[in-house]
Structure 1
Amino acid sequence: MQPGVFGAGAAAGFLGDLVFADPRRAHPVAAFGRAASAVERRLWHDHRGAGALHTAVCAGTVAAASALLASRTRGALPGAALTAAATWAVLGGTSLGREARIIAAALDAGDLTAARRRLPHLCGRDPQALDADQMARAVVESVAENTSDAVVGALVWGALAGVPGLLGFRAVNTLDAMVGHTSPRYRRFGWASARLDDVVGWPGARLTAALATLAGPDPAGAWRVWRRDAASHPSPNAGHAEAAFAGALGVRLGGTLAYGGRVEHRPVLGGEGRPVAVADVERAVRLSRRVGALALGASVLGRFAVARARIGRSTTSGPNARTGPNARAGGRASGPGTRRGPR
């Protein structure tokens, strides 16, 4: 697929997410989740090997099917339409901002019951254990992390591998959300999905942090907190996005939190910042939107760079390329009349 076709399709899909967000019903990612659950019911064993097979079947099927579809799509307009549909399907930035704002509105109105009821739509925290400020912090952390997972990471893989990259990344990320946690059922079965998600999420998390540093209100603070605190987070990827957001917004993230009845004490990100307030949710959402727009531009430029690199490789490795120890300046090959070796 030509870079211009990818760029037009990715921009159209990004605009589609801004306008339409995620549908309430019949979302392609939800359909994939149902299919993955059906595969899990057949393959589940409390063993890493079974989990690796589950990951390979689910993510591999999506990647292979989308690669086949992309290879059979001919023409600029069909190619752009396919890319637009895939981009819209995998992006979740608008829905992320919408859910965050709904919770912030409930917190601002003092309706903690409504906020606690809505929080599970955004993250896996135990809402009953959180007060208003802790819920606001959880929302800001989720906005930061999901900016990487639901927007930037997908666009990065779209730049690297086109439609298969977009859909394959979302499949892996969805599997991690479903089985890649440390509950008794998934501690071993979900290991492969969690580790694969760590690998594919690596570039998007770093790009998210870099773009948050550039686009945030305090670039110097974002850079300082990102470089100092990101590695202390237990996640190899989420810490980068969260640390950069903490520094950019001038707030403290991390600390004590509760997941499914267990308490975690995470390192603080941006310890010199102030506690998160409800108003910071809106600031985080706006920063997320700016990061997403910059990531779109970066992905399109990246697609052009990938195409240029492929052209360069094909040129240097073609049948007329001058390579190897016997190549001669000016194109003189070492034929029968050429002296070779010691005389």
Structure 2
Amino acid sequence: MNFAFSLPLALAAALLDVTVGYPQAVYRAIGHPVTWMGAFVAALESRLNRPTLAFEVGRASGVFALALYLGAVGVVAGLVSSLAPSGVVGFAALALLASSLPAQQSLDRHVLAVARGLEQGGLAAGRSAVAKIVGRNPETLDEAGVARAALESLAENFSDGVVAPLFWIALGGVTGGALYKAVNTADSMIGHKTERFLAFGWAAARLDDLVNLPASRLAALWLIAAAAVTPDASAREAWLTVARDAGRHRSPNAGWPEAAIAGALGLKLAGPRVYGDRLVDDAFMGAGRREADAADIIRALKLYRASCVIQALALAGAALIAQA
């Protein structure tokens, strides 16, 4: 890959995403690349997943489905990239396409809605807003639980919904970003540890863990750096909390940004949580207050926005070096 092209492309995608976002009119007319990928995954799963099969056979079927799916996404993305005209017009077209892959503006809007819900409508409104961004049952959450859920979602989605797509665009252009998004979409749909997906979704879940490893560490780094320039946040505590707690999280990736936010804001996140009817006994991230509130969500969003700026500056710097 030509980094003199892919790094500016990642920067342009980030700037377009945060300033323009994905137009609702376009979404209503043709959907979104993630919805197309999701439809493909659903079609493969309905045809190839047979929960009655032996575990090894179900896992092999899932590996085959994932390979078929990623191959198709890679071919389409590669063709689109190769057919783009050279020069400014082609770069702009690919940047617009790439800007559909990260979700800076969307994540900010959804997390802010939880804070506004708690402030203006109380627990019921907060639960309604947080239900749109988390997988756990919001009816089991009190106000502090709703706030913590929003903070944990912000942390995890900053890593896999913002940093990771831009990282893979920077490495592999539109094709790299599309393949990452395809893996992440497959994991969100079939990577669950339920009876139906335990075997078939095994490959998607393991690959998603792998491709998110670099981004989760970068996300923590951006958050630590942002804490140094964000009022009422501690870069030192963010660093110490990541070093102490990130590796104890059940996920190989989610603990890094969660620990960074918890440490920076003096909170205690994660810990035992209920997903559906299943209790997940996870380690705590941070050693601060457990009673989070709407004000903490606003503080976290300031940290998140500063992190996005720092990431954009890092991409700009890398692009300048690549052009030299």
Fold equivalence (TM over 0.5): yes
AA of the residue aligned to 1:181: H
2:170 corresponds to which of 154, 159, 163 = 159
Give the whole-Å Cα distance in 2 for the aligned partners of 1:230 and 1:182. Answer: 22
Aligned counterparts, 1:1-343, within 5 A: 3-24=3-24, 25=27, 26-46=31-51, 47-216=58-227, 217-273=233-289, 275-302=291-318
Q: Secondary structure at the match of 2:282?
A: strand
Q: Note the C-alpha offset of 1:220.
A: 0.5
Identify if the C-alpha distance between structure 1 residues 270 and 127 changes in structure 2 by more than 3 Å, giving closer, same or farther. Answer: same
Q: Note the C-alpha offset of 1:298.
A: 2.8
Identify if the C-alpha distance between structure 1 residues 174 and 23 changes in structure 2 by more than 3 Å, giving closer, same or farther. Answer: farther
Gap regions ≥5 residues in structure 2: 52-57, 228-232
Name which one, 1 or 2, has greater alpha-carbon Rg.
1
Sequence identity percentage: 37
Instruction: Identify the structure with bigger relative contact order (alpha carbons < 8 Å, sequence gap 6+).
Output: 2
Q: Which moved more, 1:36-45 or 1:68-77?
A: 68-77
Give the whole-Å Cα distance in 1 for the aligned partners of 2:47 and 2:138. Answer: 33
Q: Which moved more, 1:209-218 or 1:42-51?
A: 42-51
Do the aligned residues in 2 keep the contact of 1:3 with 1:303 (CA within 8 Å)?
A: yes
Do the aligned residues in 1 keep the contact of 2:262 with 2:288 (CA within 8 Å)?
A: no
Q: Note the C-alpha offset of 1:139.
A: 0.3
| TM-score, with structure 1 as normaliser | 0.83
Give the whole-Å Cα distance in 2 for the aligned partners of 1:252 and 1:298. Answer: 29
Matching residue of 1:332: none
Give the whole-Å Cα distance in 1 for the aligned partners of 2:244 and 2:113. Answer: 32
**Can you list the C-alpha shifts for 1:282-304, whole angstroms capped at 9, x where unaligned?**
12122222222322333454467
Give the whole-Å Cα distance in 1 for the aligned partners of 2:159 and 2:286. Answer: 19
Matching residue of 2:54: none
Q: Secondary structure at the match of 1:21?
A: coil
AA of the residue aligned to 1:294: I
Gap regions ≥5 residues in structure 1: 309-343
**Can you list the C-alpha shifts for 1:116-171, whole angstroms capped at 9, x where unaligned?**
22222111011011011101000000000000011101111111111111111111
Q: Note the C-alpha offset of 1:213.
A: 0.7
Give the whole-Å Cα distance in 1 for the aligned partners of 2:216 and 2:210. Answer: 10
